[in-house]
Amino acid sequence: MKVSVVVPVYNEVRTIKDILSAVQAVPLEKEIIIVDDGSTDGTRACLQEMSREKDVKVLYHDRNQGKGAALRTGFGAATGEVILIQDADLEYDPREYPGLLAPIREGKADVVYGSRFLSGPHRVLFFWHYAGNRFLTLLSNALSNLNLSDMETGYKVFRREILNDITIKSKRFGFEPEFTMKVAKKRLRIYEVPISYHGRTYAEGKKIDWRDGVKAIFALFWFRFFD
């Protein structure tokens, strides 16, 4: 089973080499698709060097469009049977891939969410981020009739064929609620597995903030009732 690891990147010059090495180290039949979303911090120079690596494809946006737009570009280039989303900031550990892929390999799932809130170790950081994630997941569950523990997780893995029936429209962080609502409407088989989480501070480069949370609430209602 070939896996397409899609890595959206924006201004991650400090971590991009490390995350690529970590992904490459996983013993797995895979292709790595990196989408640079208009980086301005030197990330592009690193990626030009990385594009010479075997099984690494680097795609570039001329300007910053958002995580959702970068993922859409990556999905369009994917050739694997399964797509795995990997953030470029080292908050999520590629060594978790076997567990994430297991429900799909075993024929039990179409979509797998890696949950930060089940039993994996995690760095202790911001209460309001935790509370916000919990609230968004609760609202998502109420609207979709799912029982997820972590809707906003960056680790989402799914059979590529489901994109034949789902059109992703979000350009920024609205991807997470949009994807969740659309796979729920399709009644796909969804599993969760526990993952570790090594969150970072804003000084370390974290980008999402409370405004993205407000937009996620709007996205949940929009994609539940109007799209």
How confident is the model at residue 124, as a pLDDT? 53
Which DSSP state fits 116?
T
Q: What is the pLDDT of residues 68-120, one digit of tens each?
A: 999 999 999 999 999 999 999 888 999 999 999 999 999 999 999 999 888 76
Within the chain, which residues score under 50 in pLDDT?
A: 202, 204-205
Gap between the Cα atoms of 205 and 217, Å rounded: 24
Structure confidence at residue 173 (pLDDT): 76
DSSP, collapsed to helix, strand or coil, labels residue 60 as: strand
Considering only CA atoms, which of 199, 183, 66 is closest in space to residue 132? 199
Please give the tally of structural domains in the chain. Answer: 1
- Determine the Cα–Cα distance for residues 27 and 19; give it in Å rounded to an integer: 15
Q: Tell me the CATH number at 8.
A: 3.90.550.10
pTM beyond 0.85: yes
- Copy the structure tokens of residue 64: 């910053």
Q: Print the domain residue range for 182.
A: 3-225
